[in-house]
Amino acid sequence: MVRSGPDEAAQQLELKGEGPSFNRQSQKALDDPLPWLIERSLQWVWEQREFYRANGRPLSDEERNELQGYYNHAVLDVVRVASVERLSDPPFLDELRELGTPTFEVSRAAGITFVDCLVIQSLFQEQSPAWFSILFHELVHVVQHRLMGPQRFIQAYVLAWAESGHQYHSIPYEEQAYRLEARFKLHGPPFPVEDVVRQELKGLLAHGAAPETGGEHSGIVRG
C-alpha cells in the first residue's frame, strides 16, 4: 500500500494536463466512458483541491478535540475545511448525461472531500453534532486518499461506482466511511481510523469485492 501526502499527490496528478482535445475526448468517451470519466474526475478534483487549499480553514480547536481520539495529528493538521451554500456539480456532468451514463450529483451531497480539503454545505451548522459526523465521514476519505495515493484512490472510486451499478451506497469506500461514521456516532471508545482503514483496504484491494454490509440511506449523502 502506498502512503501519499499532498506533495506526492501534486506530482501524481500533474499528469492531468496532457489530455487530447475536447472533440477527441468526446469520441474516446463514446468508445469507453470510464477512462474519460477518470481523467475528467482527476482534473476536477485537483482544481477543486487547489481552490480550497487556498480558501479553506484549518480545523478549529473544538473540532480537533472532538476528532483527535480517532485521527492522528498528521491528518488533523493537513486538512482544510470550507462551508459553502451549495456544492458545485462537476463541469462534465452534462457530457456524462449525453453519454447515457448515470450521473452523480455532488450538489445533493452534504459534504465532499477533495484529497485533503473538506467542503460541507452550510445548512449544517458548524460545531453541531451533524457537523462533526460529516467531518468524521469526510476524514475517512482523507485517510483513504493518503493510504492509497490520491490518483489511485480517485480511479478506484470511479471504477467502484461503475462496477456497483452506479449505486453510491454500494461503493466500498463509501460503505466504509458510513460504517465508521456510525461507530463514531455511537460515542463508544475512540478507535484509530487509519489502522482500521488500512486493514480493511488490504482485503478490499486484494479481492476487489465490496463488503456486504449496507450504508446509511438518508437521502442526503456525504460525497
Nearer to Zn ion, 28 or 185 (CB): 185
Candidates 2-10, 50-58, 83-91, 177-185; binding stretch for Zn ion (CB under 5 A): 177-185
In the complex, the smallest distance separating the C-beta of residue 28 from Zn ion, rounded to whole angstroms, is: 28
Spatial separation of the C-alpha atoms in residues 104 and 168, rounded to whole Å: 8
Q: Residues 60-79 vs Zn ion: string with x where CB under 5 A?
A: --------------------
CA distance 151 to 149: 6
Task: Report how many residues bind Zn ion under the rule CB under 5 A.
Answer: 3
* C-alpha span between 139 and 179 (Å, rounded): 13
Residue with cell 501519499: 4
- Contact status, residue 79 vs residue 58, Cβ threshold 8 Å: yes
Residue placing its CB nearer to Zn ion in the complex, 36 or 104: 104
Rounded Cα distance, 203 and 75, in Å: 23
Cell of residue 107, nine digits? 450538489
Contact (Cβ atoms closer than 8 angstroms) between residue 86 and residue 21:
no
- Does residue 193 touch Zn ion according to CB under 5 A? no
Asked whether the beta carbons of 141 and 177 are under 8 A apart, the reply is yes
Least CB distance to Zn ion at residue 47 (A): 20
Question: In this complex, which beta carbon is closest to Zn ion, that of residue 29 or of residue 118?
Answer: 118
Q: Does 177 bind Zn ion (CB under 5 A)?
A: yes
Quick check: 80 binds Zn ion (CB under 5 A)?
A: no
User: In this complex, which beta carbon is closest to Zn ion, that of residue 4 or of residue 133?
Assistant: 133
Residues 6+ apart with CB under 8 A from 95: 26, 29, 40
Q: Which of residues 147-176 bind Zn ion (CB under 5 A)?
A: 174
Candidate list 80, 146, 179, 222; residue touching Zn ion; CB under 5 A: 222
CA pair distance 150, 8, nearest whole angstrom: 9
For Zn ion, the closer CB: 113 or 151: 113
Judged by beta carbon, residue 36 or residue 70, the one nearer Zn ion is: 70
Which residues of this chain interact with Zn ion, rule CB under 5 A?
174, 177, 222
